Amino acid sequence: MNANNKIGNSTFAFKTAWQRYGTLGILILLLTILAALKPGYFFQPSTVTQILSQSSVNILIALGEFFAILIAGIDLSVGSVTALSGMVTAKLMVAGIAPLPAVILGILLGAILGFINGILVNGTGLHPFIITLGTQAIFRGITLIISDSSAIFGFPASFTTFMAKRFIYIPVSAFIALVAALVLAFLTNKTKLGRNIYALGGNKESAWYSGINVKLHTLIVFIISGICAGIAGAVLLGRVGSAEPAAATGFETYAIAAAIIGGTSFFGGKGKIFGVVMGGLIIGVINFGMNLLSVSSTLQQVVMGALIIGSVTLDRFVAGNK
Amino acid sequence: MQPLVIMKDVKKQFPGVTALDGISFDIMPGEVHVLLGENGAGKSTLMKILSGVHKPTDGQIIIGGSEFTALTPKDSRSCGISVIYQELSVINELSIQENLFVGNLPVKNIGPMKIVDYKKMREATQMLLGKVGLRKDPETAVEELSISEKQQVEIAKALAADSRILIMDEPTTSLTSSEVSHLFAVIRELKKEGHGIVFISHKLGEIMEIGDRVTVLKDGRYVGTKKISDVTQDDLVTMMVGRQISKNYQHPSADYSDAPVIFEVRNLSRKDGKVKNVSFKLRRGEILGFSGLVGSGRSEMMNSIFGAEPKACGEILIDGKEVRTSAPFYSIKSGLAMVTENRRETGFFHNFSIKKNISVLPFIKQSSFAGITGLVSDKNEDIWADEQKKNLNIKCYSTEQGITELSGGNQQKVILGKWLAADSQIIIFDEPTKGIDVGSKGEIYALMRRLADEGKGILVVSSELPELLAVCDTIAVFREGEIVAVFPHKEATEEKIIAASTAEKGEGNRP
Q: Where does the pLDDT of residue B212 fall: very low under 50, low under 70, confident under 90, or very high at 90 and above?
A: very high
What integer is the mean pLDDT of A310-318? 73
Tell me: the pLDDT tens digits for B349-374? 999 999 999 999 999 998 888 888 88
With contacts defined as CB-CB under 8 Å, which chain B residues touch A192? Answer: 363-364, 367, 371-376
The rounded mean pLDDT for chain B is 88
Q: Where does the pLDDT of residue B503 fall: very low under 50, low under 70, confident under 90, or very high at 90 and above?
A: low
Do A191 and B374 make contact, defined as CB atoms within 8 angstroms? yes
Q: Where does the pLDDT of residue B507 fall: very low under 50, low under 70, confident under 90, or very high at 90 and above?
A: very low
Residue B298 has pLDDT above 50, yes or no: yes
Size of interface A-B (CB pairs under 8 A): 121
Give the CA distances from residue A58 to residues A17, B229, B258, in Å, rounded to whole numbers and listed in that order. 26, 72, 68
Q: In what order do the strands lie in the sheet with B482-488?
A: B336-339, B426-430, B457-461, B287-292, B474-479, B482-488
Higher pLDDT, A185 or B509: A185
- Which has the closest alpha carbon to B44: B13, B19, B18, B63? B19
Number of C-beta neighbours around residue B42 at 10 A? 27
Residue A273 has pLDDT above 80, yes or no: yes
Do B19 and A1 make contact, defined as CB atoms within 8 angstroms? yes
Q: Among A190-194, A249-253, A300-304, whose mean pLDDT is lowest? A: A300-304
Residue B510 has pLDDT above 60, yes or no: no
pLDDT of residue B196: 93
Pick A196's closest partner by Cβ from B332, B372, B405.
B372
Q: Among A183-187, A205-209, B27-31, B252-256, whose mean pLDDT is lowest? A: B252-256
Q: Where does the pLDDT of residue A322 fall: very low under 50, low under 70, confident under 90, or very high at 90 and above?
A: very low
Residue A12 has pLDDT above 80, yes or no: no
% chain B with pLDDT above 70: 96
Report how far residue B457's alpha carbon sits from residue B262's, in angstroms, rounded to the nearest whole number. Answer: 7
Give the CA distances from residue B219 to residues A63, B26, B41, B173, B246, in Å, rounded to whole numbers and listed in that order. 47, 19, 4, 23, 22
Do A5 and B405 make contact, defined as CB atoms within 8 angstroms? yes
Q: Where does the pLDDT of residue B430 fall: very low under 50, low under 70, confident under 90, or very high at 90 and above?
A: very high
Do A209 and B418 make contact, defined as CB atoms within 8 angstroms? no
pLDDT of residue A3: 40
The rounded mean pLDDT for chain A is 88
Higher pLDDT, A311 or B420: B420
Which of A7, A191, A210 has the most B C-beta neighbours within 10 Å, making it the best mutation to test the interface with B? A210
Q: Among A4-13, B64-73, B488-497, whose mean pLDDT is lowest? A: A4-13
> Taking an 8 Å Cβ-Cβ cutoff, which residues of chain B contact chain A?
12, 14-17, 19, 40, 44-45, 306, 308, 327-329, 331-333, 338, 340, 345-352, 356, 359-361, 363-365, 367, 370-376, 405, 407, 418
What integer is the mean pLDDT of B116-130? 90
Q: Where does the pLDDT of residue B390 fall: very low under 50, low under 70, confident under 90, or very high at 90 and above?
A: very high
pLDDT of residue B511: 43
Tell me: the pLDDT tens digits for B239-290? 876 654 456 888 888 888 899 999 999 999 999 889 999 999 999 999 999 9
pLDDT of residue B508: 42
Measured between CA atoms, how close is B40 to chain A, in angstroms? 6
Given a contact cutoff of 8 angstroms between Cβ atoms, the answer to whether B171 and B153 are in contact is: no
Which of B219, B326, B376, B429 has the most A C-beta neighbours within 10 Å, making it the best mutation to test the interface with A? B376
With contacts defined as CB-CB under 8 Å, which chain A residues touch B375? Answer: 190-192
Do B351 and A191 make contact, defined as CB atoms within 8 angstroms? no
- pTM for the whole structure: 0.76
Do B360 and A210 make contact, defined as CB atoms within 8 angstroms? yes
% chain A with pLDDT above 90: 60
Residues contacting A279, CB < 8 A, separation 6+: A23, A62, A257, A258, A259, A260, A261, A262, A263
Residue B32 has pLDDT above 50, yes or no: yes
**Phi/psi of residue B7, each to 5°?**
-110, 125
Q: Where does the pLDDT of residue B464 fall: very low under 50, low under 70, confident under 90, or very high at 90 and above?
A: confident
- Which has the closest alpha carbon to B301: B494, B422, B509, B476? B476
Residue B506 has pLDDT above 80, yes or no: no
Given a contact cutoff of 8 angstroms between Cβ atoms, the answer to whether B327 and A180 are in contact is: no
Report how far residue A46's alpha carbon sits from residue B168's, in angstroms, rounded to the nearest whole number. Answer: 68
- Which has the closest alpha carbon to B357: B436, B428, B418? B418
> Taking an 8 Å Cβ-Cβ cutoff, which residues of chain A contact chain B?
1-8, 189-196, 198-199, 201-203, 205-213, 216-217, 220, 265, 268-270
Q: Domains in chain A, please, with CATH?
A: 45-317 (1.10.3470)
Indicate the helix (H) or strand (E) that contains B486: strand B482-488
Report how far residue B476's alpha carbon sits from residue B511's, in angstroms, rounded to the nearest whole number. Answer: 9
Which of A206, A267, A272 has the most B C-beta neighbours within 10 Å, making it the best mutation to test the interface with B? A206
Pick B347's closest partner by Cβ from A2, A3, A206.
A206
pLDDT of residue B331: 95
With contacts defined as CB-CB under 8 Å, which chain A residues touch B360? Answer: 195-196, 199, 210, 212
pLDDT of residue A23: 79
Given a contact cutoff of 8 angstroms between Cβ atoms, the answer to whether B48 and B23 are in contact is: no
Do B361 and A8 make contact, defined as CB atoms within 8 angstroms? no
Give the ipTM.
0.85
Give the CA distances from residue B4 to residues B201, B399, B404, in Å, rounded to whole numbers and listed in that order. 21, 46, 36
% chain A with pLDDT above 70: 92
Given a contact cutoff of 8 angstroms between Cβ atoms, the answer to whether B432 and B470 are in contact is: no
Report how far residue B372's alpha carbon sits from residue A212's, in angstroms, rounded to the nearest whole number. Answer: 8
Residues contacting B56, CB < 8 A, separation 6+: B10, B11, B12, B20, B49, B69, B70
Which of B342, B349, B354 has the most A C-beta neighbours within 10 Å, making it the best mutation to test the interface with A? B349
Report how far residue A88's alpha carbon sits from residue A105's, in angstroms, rounded to the nearest whole number. Answer: 8
Residue A305 has pLDDT above 90, yes or no: no
Higher pLDDT, A182 or B179: A182
